Structure 1
Amino acid sequence: MRTGSEPATARSPLRLRCGLAAWGLVWAVAGTVLFVWTGHPGWAVACAVLVLVTAVDLALVIRHIRQGPHYQPGRDVPPYEPVREPPKREGPKP
């Protein structure tokens, strides 16, 4: 939730997370293939599990990016108005 107090240039880390997840997916698939090819089934299974985890993470990040400004506000989304307290009344002076 935006409060209006964050910097005007603040951006969501979803695109960075998407890139890192894609990079990790590529390496995990490559590791799985390499370990299957060299005959190391334990490491192949570990990399295959990593492929699944990374694929789910990538799918969730892409889903949040596609949901729009609610999850990733851009320059065209104004900040919410901060809550303002009503002015305090001064009591009678003696």
Structure 2
Amino acid sequence: MRTGSEPTTARSALRMRLWLTVWGLLWAAFGTVAFALVGRPGWAAACGVLWLVVAVDLTMIVRHLRQGPHYQPGRDIPPYPPPEHRHP
């Protein structure tokens, strides 16, 4: 349901972000190793930096998931009600 207030009532699909981040972490690690083995240190460093960023993101996602339903609503928590519009 679109209410027009999505920036203030938006929720993140943290479980989906978790699995996409794990996928990205694996590819970044693979890229780091592959580029290091073929003698491309610049690309290996770029993949290593990407791996580091993805690892930090994964840490934040896991932290938010462990904080509970306030940060990751489950199926039993209804969506936010639409804001009441005041007409002048």
TM-score, structure 1 as length reference: 0.69
Q: Is residue 69 from structure 1 mapped to residue 79 from structure 2 by the alignment?
A: no
Per the alignment, residue 13 of structure 1 pairs with 13
| Alpha-carbon distance in 1 for matches of 2:41, 2:53 | 18
Q: Which has the higher helix share?
A: 2
Matching of residues 23-38 of structure 1 within 5 Å: 23-38=23-38
Alpha-carbon deviation of 1:76?
Answer: 3.7
% identical aligned pairs = 64
Partners of 1:71 and 1:20 in 2: how far apart? 19
Unaligned ranges ≥5, structure 2: 1-10
The aligned length equals 74
Q: Cα gap change, 1:78/1:13 in structure 2, threshold over 3 Å: closer, same or farther?
A: closer
Which is further off, 68-77 or 39-48? 68-77
How do 1:53-68 residues align onto structure 2 when only pairs under 5 Å count?
53-68=53-68
Runs of 4+ in 1 over 6 A off after TM superposition: 79-84
**Following the alignment from structure 2 to structure 1, what is the Cα–Cα distance between the partners of residues 72 and 24?**
22
- Contact 1:28–1:51 (CA<8 Å) still a contact in 2? yes
Q: Alpha-carbon deviation of 1:74?
A: 1.6
Q: Which structure would you say has the larger Rg? A: 1
Residue 62 of structure 1, CA deviation: 0.6
Q: Using the alignment, how far apart are the partners of 2:80 and 2:28 within structure 1?
A: 41
